[in-house]
Amino acid sequence: MQKGLAGMFLLDDERSGRLALPKTYGVDDLPVLVQDVTFDGADLDHGHGFLANTGFLGERTMVNGTLAPYAEVGDERVRLRLLNASTARIHTFGFDDDRSFPLVGTDGGLLAAPAAPNRVQLSPGERVEAAGAGAAGP
């Protein structure tokens, strides 16, 4: 059962150190935790209806604990570590113009070679990593 905001552990192995992935946390290595929430006044409403213990669909979407997220990213190489921190909602990520982006990792770790999807769908608890120039949109 959800008791508050979500967090993530960032793990790197020896292979990620050999790859040309951005590594400056908060600058070009950005965690992106997405979760849907509902508020009861200023407090999180955790749902009290049928099946509330198995997850619920919130009314608003938070990213990194804020309702109005914003990050200015130029054309430098950026690594996004996307996590679906929702309890029941499936999220789909991609750019407005439907361009592809380099997908470099999943729940199973770094991929042997980057994939190039234009959308990625994440179930609750799933994560992916995207890394590329101007990769601020997924």
Which pLDDT belongs to residue 135? 40
Residue 126: the pLDDT is 94
Which of residues 138 and 42 earns the better pLDDT score? 42
pLDDT of 60: 79
User: Token digits for 37?
Assistant: 């929430």
| Backbone conformation region of residue 88, classed left if phi is above 0, alpha if psi is from -120 to 50, else beta | alpha
- pLDDT, tens digit, 9 for 90 and up, residues 75-103: 888 999 999 988 888 999 998 999 999 99
SS (H, E, C) the chain: CCCCCCCCCCCCCHHHHHCCCCCCECCCEEEEEEEEECEECCEECCCCCCCHHHCCCCCEEEECCECCCCCCCCCCEEEEEEEECCCCCCEEEECCCCCCCCEEEECCEEEEEEECCCEEEECCCCEEEEEEECCCCC
The percent of residues above 70 in pLDDT, for the chain, comes to 74
Q: What is the mean pLDDT of residues 5-22?
A: 72
Average confidence (pLDDT) over 62-81 = 84
Q: Taking 90 as the threshold, does the pLDDT of residue 138 lie above it? A: no
> What pLDDT is stored for residue 33 in this prediction?
92
User: Which two three-digit tokens encode residue 88?
Assistant: 């029941």
Distance of CA 85 to the CA centre of its chain: 8
Residue-range domains of the chain with CATH: 14-133 (2.60.40.420)
User: In this model, does residue 41 exceed pLDDT 50?
Assistant: yes
